[in-house]
Chains A and B, each alone.
Chain A
Amino acid sequence: MKRKTFMLIVVWFLLVSFVGTAEAIDLTFTHWGGNLEIDAIKKMCEKYTKEHPGVNIKPLFVPWDQYVQKLSAMISGGTPPQVGYVMETEALEWAEKGVLLDILPLIEKESDPSVKLKNRLRSIWWLYGGGKKTLGTSVAAEVMITWYNKEIFDKEGVPYPPTDPNKWTWNQFVETAVKLTVDKNGKHPNEPGFDPTKIERFGVTFGNWYMVWFPFIWSNGGDLCDESGKIAKINKPEAVDALQNLCDLIYKYHVAPTPAQSSALPSYSIALQTGRVAMAIDGQWTLQELGQLEKQGKLKLGVAPLPKFKRPVTAVIGTPIGIYADAVKDSDTLKAAWEFYKWITNSESAIDLVRCGLWMPIQTWWYTDPKYIQKWLDPEIHPSEYKAAVISYAYRYAKPAPTYYLKNFAQINDIMYQELSNAFNGKVTVQEACNRIAEKIKPLLVGRYDKP
Chain B
Amino acid sequence: MGKLQARWGILFALPAILGFLIWNLGPMIASFVISFTNWSIAGRPSFINFENYKKIFDDFVFKKSLSVTFYYAVGSVFVGLVVALFWALLLNRNIIGQALFRTAFFLPAITPAIASSMIWLWLFNPTFGLLNSILDTLGLPPLEWIYNEKQVIPSFILMSIWGVGYTITIFLAGLQGIPQHLYEAVEIDGGSWWDKFRHVTVPMISPVIFFNLVMGLIGALQAGFAQAYIMTRGGPNYASMFYSYYVYLNAFEYGKMGYSCALSTIFSFMLFGLTILVFKTSPYWVYYEALRK
Contact = CB atoms under 8 A, between A and B. Distances in A.
Interface in A71-119: 72, 75-76, 89-90, 93-94, 97-99
A425 B249 CA distance: 24
Given A68-B252, A264-B125, A264-B127, A97 B40 contact: yes
A419 B255 CA distance: 22
A395 interface: no
Contact of A260 (B42, B147, B249, B254): B147
Contact of B249 (A94, A259, A264, A414): A414
B252 A264 contact: no
A417 interface: yes
Interface string A36-72: 0000000000000000000000000000000011001
Interface residues of A, number: 29
Interface string B115-156: 000000000011110000000000000001001110000000
Contacts of A422: 149, 236-237
A259 B237 CA distance: 13
Contacts of A68: 41, 252-253
Contact of A417 (B44, B148, B233, B252): B233
Contacts of B127: 260-261, 263-264
Contacts of A75: 41-42
B60 A440 contact: yes
Given A72-B42, A417-B235, A418-B234, A410 B128 contact: no
A364 interface: no
B235 A260 contact: no
Interface residues of B, number: 25
B254 A421 contact: no
Contacts of A259: 147
Contacts, number: 70
A418 B40 CA distance: 24
A438 to B, nearest CB: 14
Interface string B173-213: 00000000000000000000000000000000000000000
A68 B238 CA distance: 24
Nearest to B55: A443
A99 B249 CA distance: 21
A384 interface: no
Contact of A99 (B42, B60, B126, B147): B42
B112 interface: no
A427 B60 CA distance: 21
B97 interface: no
B235 A421 contact: yes
Interface in B196-249: 233-238, 249
B2 interface: no
Contact of A93 (B40, B234, B235): B40
B253 A89 contact: yes
14 contacts: A68-B253, A75-B42, A76-B41, A90-B41, A263-B126, A410-B254, A411-B254, A414-B253, A417-B233, A417-B235, A418-B238, A422-B236, A425-B148, A425-B236
Given A260-B126, A261-B127, 19 more contacts: A68-B253, A69-B252, A75-B42, A76-B41, A93-B40, A94-B42, A94-B43, A97-B42, A99-B42, A263-B147, A264-B128, A408-B254, A410-B255, A414-B249, A418-B234, A418-B235, A421-B236, A422-B149, A440-B60
